[in-house]
């Protein structure tokens, strides 16, 4: 049987565009003699639809889209993900489902059993888990159809959790087909392949795995759809961060006509989650992921132009370079806003960066504006020393100016704060924390440097002086980040242990870190949750990002 895997980029709630894309792939597969085509989880409505699922009209539009797709499923079978209604009054109103369409009819529906409720996932809020499991027979092939998480939790204890594949194996399937929406992080691709390998080995079945691709605001899907034989050889590995349509030929005995592209010994057995922070790990994929995210955020929202507050520092330089690559340099504007505390090289470095990129830039000095504010505040501040109030005032002046240009020229402000700064609260609300999308908010400072070096891998785009100089907010004379924070090469590993590894203070201290330093760092993280709670969406590239995947109380006392 010639089976096509359709790895596509969907737009949540855009039923017209999603349906047209799905139908286009069906027609192409038919043209090439395809007998079955597989799409990803909730392809019809896009993933994750979240509270859109609570709107009856949303579900009706999804059902109407299934009817349109069904009309195309005449001589070819179609497996496609969409929500379906629960006919029973008990439980949630919806299932997360996979439809088998053929001969312009619905031939079968499989429902997702294991509904993830961790990190960025919140599926049990909307869906009822499956309560019956049936193999779908199609042209002599018995298909065990599962959805994403259904193959991830392989717990052997039936009293703890139902494993859908164990139920389906009772009906002697020939192949496992998984419709997925598995998000990117910089260690997840190996984990995904290893899970497929474990399933192929446990059930002695070939596996066809269809993942989605593209970005949905903060969540990125990297594709990497695949086919694996029962010997755990990789038959097809589809591209990452790209749409693709690929065919495999499956025989009734469960073997493939195609030769392996990677033998089982070359396929990873487990996901790599490093015990220590590795600044360079996955940096090429992080680069591609962020480019994908910026590009999709703008295209799906209908935006074309971005603006970046360019300081001459490493963070704004990396954001500007990424934005230019994603959107085209002509569509990315830089605003340089020097103060009396700015070094001369900050301006010249920022100018050189914009010239290297070929993107437009403007310079608006803030010294006079700052003095006007100081004068207005003098009756209240008189006799009080210069402190964080005046420092933050400069940042907020810059925020007001860059937002003025964003409004005037119809641009979206890209935020430049990194994960180290967001973790410790080293940023100004309504100032440098302003923006529509947090580009670097899931990268520690040392990872930002690694990304800058990667951007410069073939030619110097980011001036080396930006990479080599000590980081500074330049809000007072001679200021350095290290005046307020531990050096990043010391800070970042502690943050990684607390945020990604979820280790408490005693565990981190036992690893050899100074007790007083650990207490100081963790206190900064916890007391600044209120700032992060007001921050813009952050592009997620790590296994544990700030935002929807990390939910902690603002007023909690843990470690504070």
The span from the CA of 99 to the CA of 88, in Å, is 19
Q: What is the mean pLDDT of residues 100-104?
A: 98
Query: Looking at the structure, do residues 74 and 146 belong to the same domain, yes or no?
Result: yes
Q: What is the mean pLDDT of residues 394-423?
A: 97
Residue 29 lies in a domain: yes
The span from the CA of 490 to the CA of 357, in Å, is 32
Query: Looking at the structure, do residues 240 and 289 belong to the same domain, yes or no?
Result: no
Residue 119 lies in a domain: yes
Query: Looking at the structure, do residues 242 and 300 belong to the same domain, yes or no?
Result: no
Q: Note the Cα 287 to chain centre separation in Å.
A: 12
Residue 111 lies in a domain: yes
Q: What is the mean pLDDT of residues 401-427?
A: 97
Catalytic residue among 148, 210, 411, 536: 148
pLDDT at 342 (0 to 100): 78
pLDDT at 155 (0 to 100): 58
CA dihedral (323, 324, 330, 333) positive or negative: positive
User: 3-state DSSP call for residue 497?
Assistant: helix
pLDDT digits (tens, 9 = 90+) for 283-294: 999 999 999 999
List the CATH number of the domain containing 339: 3.40.50.620
pLDDT at 457 (0 to 100): 97
pLDDT at 252 (0 to 100): 86
Residue 535 lies in a domain: no
Element (H, E) at 147: strand 141-147
Query: Looking at the structure, do residues 299 and 256 belong to the same domain, yes or no?
Result: no
User: Which residue do the tokens 């935020």 mark?
Assistant: 415
The span from the CA of 121 to the CA of 377, in Å, is 47
Residue 509 lies in a domain: no
pLDDT digits (tens, 9 = 90+) for 210-236: 999 999 999 999 999 999 999 999 999
Token readout for 394 is 């400069």
Query: Looking at the structure, do residues 31 and 156 belong to the same domain, yes or no?
Result: yes
Cβ(22)–Cβ(6) below 8 Å: yes
Given a cut of 90, whether residue 253 has pLDDT beyond it is no
pLDDT at 397 (0 to 100): 97
CA dihedral (246, 249, 255, 259) positive or negative: negative
Strand (E) positions, 379-526?
A: 412-415, 437-438
Q: Is 512 left (phi over 0), alpha (psi -120 to 50) or beta?
A: left
**481, 509, 524 - which closes a domain:** 481
pLDDT at 162 (0 to 100): 80
Query: Looking at the structure, do residues 237 and 289 belong to the same domain, yes or no?
Result: no
Residue 472 binned pLDDT confidence (cut-offs 50, 70, 90) = confident
Residue 526 lies in a domain: no
Given a cut of 70, whether residue 456 has pLDDT beyond it is yes
Count structural domains, the chain: 2
Other C-beta atoms within 10 Å of 458: how many? 7
**238, 266, 294 - which closes a domain:** 266
Q: To the nearest whole number, what is the mean pLDDT of the chain?
A: 95
Query: Looking at the structure, do residues 214 and 289 belong to the same domain, yes or no?
Result: no
Cβ(95)–Cβ(130) below 8 Å: yes
Q: Going by C-beta distance under 8 Å and a sequence separation of 6 or more, which residues neighbour residue 374?
A: 381, 390, 393
From the list 438, 41, 52, the residue with the least C-alpha distance to 218 is: 438
pLDDT at 540 (0 to 100): 98
Given a cut of 70, whether residue 154 has pLDDT beyond it is no
User: Which residue do the tokens 């074309």 mark?
Assistant: 304
Q: What is the mean pLDDT of residues 297-318?
A: 97
Query: Looking at the structure, do residues 243 and 363 belong to the same domain, yes or no?
Result: no
Give the range among 154-158, 177-181, 187-191 with minimum mean pLDDT: 154-158
DSSP per-residue string spanning 115-132: ---STT--GGGTBPPP--
Cβ(39)–Cβ(210) below 8 Å: yes
Residue 414 binned pLDDT confidence (cut-offs 50, 70, 90) = very high
Query: Looking at the structure, do residues 288 and 250 belong to the same domain, yes or no?
Result: no
Residue 481 binned pLDDT confidence (cut-offs 50, 70, 90) = confident
Report the DSSP beta bridge partners of residue 244. Answer: 7
Catalytic residue among 35, 41, 123, 218: 41
DSSP 480: -
Query: Looking at the structure, do residues 293 and 246 belong to the same domain, yes or no?
Result: no
Cβ(40)–Cβ(238) below 8 Å: no
Residue 157 binned pLDDT confidence (cut-offs 50, 70, 90) = low
pLDDT at 309 (0 to 100): 98
Residue 148 is a catalytic residue: yes
pLDDT at 159 (0 to 100): 47
Residue 277 lies in a domain: no
User: 3-state DSSP call for residue 239?
Assistant: coil
Catalytic residue among 21, 70, 112, 531: 112
DSSP 482: G
Query: Looking at the structure, do residues 226 and 120 belong to the same domain, yes or no?
Result: yes
From the list 265, 146, 268, the residue with the least C-alpha distance to 207 is: 146
Query: Looking at the structure, do residues 183 and 57 belong to the same domain, yes or no?
Result: yes
**481, 512, 546 - which closes a domain:** 481
Given a cut of 60, whether residue 489 has pLDDT beyond it is yes
The span from the CA of 448 to the CA of 215, in Å, is 21
Residue 112 is a catalytic residue: yes
Q: Phi, psi (5° rounding) for residue 63?
A: -65, -40
The span from the CA of 146 to the CA of 10, in Å, is 20
Residue 521 lies in a domain: no
Strand (E) positions, 242-394?
A: 244-249, 306-309, 332-336, 361-363
Residue 523 is a catalytic residue: no
Given a cut of 70, whether residue 267 has pLDDT beyond it is yes
Q: What is the mean pLDDT of residues 38-66?
A: 98
Domain extent, residue 228, equals 2-266
List the CATH number of the domain containing 89: 3.60.110.10
Given a cut of 80, whether residue 433 has pLDDT beyond it is yes
Element (H, E) at 213: strand 213-216
What whole-number percentage of the chain has pLDDT above 90?
89
The span from the CA of 314 to the CA of 26, in Å, is 46
């Amino acid at each position: 049987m010639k089976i096509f895997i359709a790895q596509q980029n969907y737009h949540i709630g855009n039923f017209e565009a999603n349906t047209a894309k799905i139908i286009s792939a069906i027609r192409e597969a038919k043209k090439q003699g395809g007998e079955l085509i597989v799409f990803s989880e909730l392809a019809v409505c896009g993933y994750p639809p979240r509270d859109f699922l609570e709107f009856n009209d949303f579900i009706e539009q999804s059902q109407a889209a299934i009817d349109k797709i069904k009309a195309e499923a005449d001589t070819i079978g179609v497996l496609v993900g969409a929500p379906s209604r629960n006919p029973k009054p008990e439980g949630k109103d919806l299932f997360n489902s996979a439809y088998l369409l053929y001969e312009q009819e619905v031939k079968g529906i499989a429902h997702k059993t294991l509904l993830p409720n961790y990190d960025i996932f919140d599926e049990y809020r909307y869906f009822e888990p499956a309560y019956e499991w049936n193999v779908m027979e199609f042209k002599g092939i018995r298909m065990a159809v599962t959805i994403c998480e259904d193959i991830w939790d392989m717990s052997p204890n039936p009293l703890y959790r139902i494993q859908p594949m164990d139920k389906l194996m009772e009906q002697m399937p020939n192949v496992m087909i998984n419709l997925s929406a598995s998000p990117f992080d910089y260690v997840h691709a190996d984990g995904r392949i290893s899970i497929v390998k474990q399933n192929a080995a446990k059930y002695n079945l070939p596996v066809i795995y269809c993942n989605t691709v593209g970005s949905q605001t903060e969540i990125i899907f990297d594709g990497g759809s695949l086919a694996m034989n029962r010997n755990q050889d990789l038959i097809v590995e589809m591209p990452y961060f790209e749409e693709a349509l690929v065919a495999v030929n499956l025989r009734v005995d469960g073997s493939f006509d195609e030769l392996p592209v990677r033998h089982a010994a070359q396929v990873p057995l487990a996901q790599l989650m490093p015990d220590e922070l590795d600044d360079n790990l996955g940096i090429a994929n992080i680069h591609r992921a962020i480019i994908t995210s910026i590009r999709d955020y703008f295209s799906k929202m209908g935006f074309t132009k971005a603006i970046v507050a360019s300081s001459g520092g490493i963070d704004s330089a990396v954001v500007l370079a990424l934005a230019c690559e994603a959107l085209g340099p002509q569509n990315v504007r830089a605003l340089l806003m020097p103060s009396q505390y700015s070094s001369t090289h900050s301006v010249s470095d920022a100018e050189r960066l914009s010239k290297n990129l070929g993107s437009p830039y403007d310079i608006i000095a803030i010294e006079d504006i700052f003095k006007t504010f100081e004068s207005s505040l003098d009756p209240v501040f008189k006799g009080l020393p210069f402190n964080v109030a005046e420092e933050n005032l400069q940042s907020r002046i810059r925020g007001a100016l860059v937002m003025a240009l964003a409004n005037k020229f119809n641009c979206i402000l890209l935020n430049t704060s990194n994960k180290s700064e967001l973790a410790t609260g080293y940023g100004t609300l309504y100032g440098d924390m302003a923006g529509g999308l947090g580009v670097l908010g899931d990268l520690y400072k040392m990872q930002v440097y690694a990304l800058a070096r990667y951007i410069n891998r073939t030619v110097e785009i980011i001036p080396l002086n930006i990479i080599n100089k000590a980081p500074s907010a330049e809000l007072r004379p001679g200021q350095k980040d290290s005046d307020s924070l531990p050096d990043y090469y010391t800070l970042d590993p502690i943050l990684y242990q607390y945020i990604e590894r979820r280790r408490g203070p005693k565990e981190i201290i036992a690893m050899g870190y100074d007790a007083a330093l650990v207490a100081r760092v963790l206190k900064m993280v916890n007391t600044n949750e209120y700032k992060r709670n007001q921050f813009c969406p952050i592009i997620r590239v790590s296994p544990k990002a700030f935002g929807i995947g990390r939910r902690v109380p603002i007023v909690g006392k843990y470690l504070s």
